[in-house]
A and B are shown apart, each in its own frame.
Chain A
Amino acid sequence: MRALNHKLVRELWQLRGQALAIALVIGAGLAAVLMSISTLDSLQNTRAIYYRDYAFAEVFASLKRAPDSLRERIAAIPGVNQVNTRVWAPVTIEIAGFTDPISGLLVSAPRAGRADLNRLYLRAGRLMDPDRSDEIVIGDAFAEAHGFQPGDRLGVIIDGKRKQLRIVGIALSPEFIYQIGPGSIFPDFARFAVLWMAPDVLATAYDMDGAFNNVTLTLTHGANAADVIDELDTVLERYGGLSAYDREDQTSHRFLSEEFKQLEQMGRTFSVIFLGISAFLLNMVISRLINTQREEIATLKAFGYSNLAIGAHYAKLVVAIVLFGIVLGVIAGVWFGQGLSHIYMEYYRLPYLHYQLRPVIVLVATLVTASAALIGTLFALQRAVRLPPAQAMRPEPPPVYRATVVERLGVQRWLSQPSRMILRHIERRPLKAALSVIGIAFAGGIVISGTFFKDSIDFMVEAEFRLAQREDIAVTFTEATSYAALHELAALPGVTRVEPVRVVPVRLRHGHHVYRTSVQGLAPNADLHRSLDLNLQPLAFPPQGILLTEYLGTRLAIKPGDTLTIEVLDGSQPVREVPLVGLVQQYIGVGGYMDLDALNRLLREDRAVSGAFLAVDEADRETVYARLKTMPRIASVRVQENSIRNYYASIGDLLLTYTAFIAGLAGAITFGVVYNSARITLSERSRELASLRVLGFTRGEIAYILLGELALLTLAAIPLGFVVGRALSAHFVATIHQELFRVPLILEPDTYTLSAIVILISALVSGLIVRRRLDQLDLIAVLKTKE
């Protein structure tokens, strides 16, 4: 067996180009899997540790105002473990030289010294001195966006009063991993801030001495959250409680969970596709590789080696290549996974990362990859050892060729002999040709599925921000108010149109399906902020009934004509029944829409609005921002243009980064497959080509025969790759159909072009390498040997 091992090492060296390309396919497939799964695992793991170490609460409730003494009653609710009562207040922030409106959330800092809930992770500076009334700690995202350091000052408008505060610390909180301002669903670190103040100082500043308007708590082990929430709602009812909720409805947690779910589904889909495709390609490539060893196998058999010994020998060869690929894949997967996790951490404000790669994932991926390779080996070996050695060692009987279909169609006389060789070779082994085409097509398909998001996202943004939400500015009032507030806005210089909106937090119920969201009441003649029907046409609001986003319709299992129960979570918290009159297409976020008057009638309120959409002349924007800041009833101002930018800067960016990694790996796979096809074809045909060289064919002429075939297969694979890519993309779109956003299936020509380019470049580079090999064909050696 010593000699066989020498053969193994020597053959590995001889096959190094192909071995490397196969390892590349394995490595890229594995890296895609490990990257996707480890990124998700790491983020989830980090979040869990962060939640635990910094005591993230489990139940949350807002209310108007309750005395501190109520705390004892809340703590006494069965199932409650720890209680934190506090004040939180929306504020407006001013930064010299930054004209865009900045909204903030000022929160009582958890009490130091005690093991309070939602503790802060201090990144720089210190916590505030409870006796100093001007000290705050600010969120690290906001600090980073504006370059704030401890010691800097910040102008904050609390309850209409302007205050200069001193930043003493920069911190993170498990409550605000995903940080978004009111009315947004994408983070805007420059225009939304979380600030912490010493509890007593904030209470005084906000006129809440001895009182609180927000409570968070943890549960004892085994307590039922729903029971605690019910009890808490009862306790808080008298104090203007807004219906308590658990983590699932806590903004940061919920968005994060949604993103994780999405990441998980993408990761799972990519894993299955990558693993499946690389296994398929591996199987194909390995079995062709073994086929080229037919003669050696026969010779070994002639020497008396058993089939088992021969099988073990080739299995070793394959395992060596596979192991190399796996090592490559694990290294790349960990590297990309850490890189991707850190990119995610830009958006998810986590204080640290506990990178996690579960060994079982590596194991499963390794097993799948190795079995695919070994099964390919086994089948090829079986074919090879079946022949009696004497027969296998003799020149293989020339395979039977026929004139091809193309030629029988009568174009024969246009084809040179080399062209006929290309066609017949393909037709002679249609299965092999088909497998090559399918392999390359799948590789090209993954490139499409990894890159189409860009087109879809552009389309989504176009639909959401240019067709539906066309306002320049969205204003939210501190509370529902009368129509009169709109006149004030309309009177601002440069404001060309004002449209009212009433946003009501609700719980929607249909049968046993429940969903917590909000309903927007819009004017029937709304032109700025519109809803689109399923064909993206602006929708006229019906005077009665409700419209739901299409996702919610599915989620609540409701169809137009059915009756929906609305539990209002605001004011007197009425419960109403309304008919569902239609579904709207909305790619980002979910919710319900009603005619504003109909909504107010439903609430039994009189023409109230909670916000407004404004169209503003470009030139007057900054003046308008400045004026809005000074208006006391305005809780927040959202500039639409920034929403679009934020979208691209956050989710869009993440998705694109992720898919760019994927596309790179897909490119590597494509190259591996194309290169191997070319190299194997070369080894299968080098004898024939060398004979032609002997007959006086030039290097270019024989290259035409070999590369012509490669080119033909590649060209056939490209359009098939488009079909595969579209199918894979459609599958993706279906799997990431979630609350945060739905991605429409949009494939622009540039995506197809990219896939074609990746394939063509792979083919070109492979072709050049093979061409170089062809130039070095040993003419004499080839003539000495038989097949």
Chain B
Amino acid sequence: MSTPDSNNATHADIDADVVFHAHGITKIYPMGEVEVQALRGVDLDLHTGELIVLLGPSGSGKSTLLNILGGLDTPTAGCVLYRGRDLTRATERELTEYRRYHVGFVFQFYNLIPSLTARENVAVVTEIARKPMRPEEALELVGLGKRLDHFPAQLSGGEQQRVAIARAIAKNPEVLLCDEPTGALDSSTGIVVLEAIERINRELGTATAVITHNAGIALMADRVIHLGDGLITHVNINETRKAPHELTW
């Protein structure tokens, strides 16, 4: 694993270990008269198998950064290399393909399809992926092997979020991006969800980024990136990751 603060582009290009290499990312939202500077030049690398937590107060630019990494948004300036490919120059079609084959998303509000069962919500993704696992397998990984044929309405919030995680990882993505995955859950349910994420990262080696504004969660990460007002304020490296069930918040 290269050093966390390595931000040398030429290095990253040839470093097979680097999943994302983001450099000088700026994002400005024009809001009529004024402009909102959501990101003011962020440099960040994410490595294979690594689990990072993006920590910061609300409005600090965490979601904006994650959305850019996930190909949902493009930066105003700066470049994002995904395995050497420049996402900022990708076409709409290429971004769709990127999301389809390489990225798994988990959101605060689950975003499940209410008309599909748990198994089918996962199948929605595996049907269009290249080398997916079976939906049952993915659900087994998040501990929902017994809830395959339940519809979202028949599942609790935590279970729904775990279905969302299963859906995100079933395609065997290179990266798993989670935006406040526990934001809508109580802490004990949140822990179950984090355990699922941690297990995926550990067992499948999926590079994972988890957004939270909750400092307690940060201890499960390899690295903690602190954001404030559109900038990385500092980076913590945890020598040992704590298991989610050891966390409290």
Measured CB to CB, the residues of A under 8 A from B are: 395, 397-403, 416-418, 420-421, 424-425, 428, 687-688, 691-699, 701, 779-780, 783-784, 786
Contacts and interface: CB of A to CB of B under 8 A. Distances in A.
B116 A402 contact: no
Contact of A428 (B70, B99, B115): B115
B127 A397 contact: no
B151 A695 contact: no
Contact of B113 (A691, A701, A784, A786): A691
Best-buried of B93, B100, B128 by chain A (most CB within 10 Å): B128
A694 B72 contact: yes
Contacts of A420: 115-116, 120
A698 B107 contact: no
B115 A783 contact: no
B57 to A, nearest CB: 16
B125 interface: yes
A603 B50 CA distance: 115
Contacts of A691: 107, 111-113
Tell me the interface secondary structure of chain A in the complex.
helix
B119 to A, nearest CB: 10
Contacts of B70: 694
A641 to B, nearest CB: 64
Contacts of A421: 113, 115-116
A696 B97 contact: yes
Most chain A CB within a 10 A radius of its CB, from B115, B167, B184: B115
A639 B123 CA distance: 76
Given A425-B115, A688-B113, A695 B105 contact: yes
Nearest to B64: A780
Given A695-B105, A695-B124, A696-B96, A401 B114 contact: yes
16 contacts: A395-B184, A398-B160, A399-B115, A400-B153, A417-B116, A420-B115, A421-B116, A424-B115, A688-B114, A695-B99, A696-B101, A697-B96, A698-B93, A701-B128, A784-B63, A786-B109
Interface in B119-175: 120, 123-125, 127-129, 151-154, 160, 167, 171
Contacts of B93: 698
Nearest to A418: B124
Nearest to A698: B96
Given A696-B99, A697-B100, A780 B73 contact: yes
Nearest to B121: A417
Given A695-B167, A783-B109, A402 B67 contact: no
B98 to A, nearest CB: 8
Interface string B183-227: 010000000000000000000000000000000000000000000
Identify the 4 closest CB pairs spanning chains A and B, nearest first.
Answer: A696-B100, A398-B114, A691-B111, A398-B152
B179 interface: yes
B100 to A, nearest CB: 3
A202 to B, nearest CB: 85
A780 B99 contact: no
A258 B152 CA distance: 65
A581 to B, nearest CB: 68
Contact of A692 (B73, B98, B124, B179): B124
Contacts of A402: 151
Given A418-B124, A428-B115, 7 more contacts: A398-B160, A417-B120, A425-B115, A695-B105, A696-B103, A697-B96, A783-B111
A418 B128 CA distance: 11
B116 A696 contact: no
A420 B127 CA distance: 13
A696 B111 contact: no
Contacts of B107: 691, 783
A29 B124 CA distance: 43
Nearest to A428: B115
B109 A395 contact: yes
A424 B124 CA distance: 14
Contacts of A418: 124
Nearest to A696: B100
Contacts of B151: 398, 400-402
B96 A693 contact: yes
A352 B103 CA distance: 76
B99 A424 contact: no
A403 B127 CA distance: 19
A402 B125 CA distance: 20
Nearest to B102: A696
A709 to B, nearest CB: 11
A428 B127 CA distance: 23
A782 to B, nearest CB: 8
A206 to B, nearest CB: 87
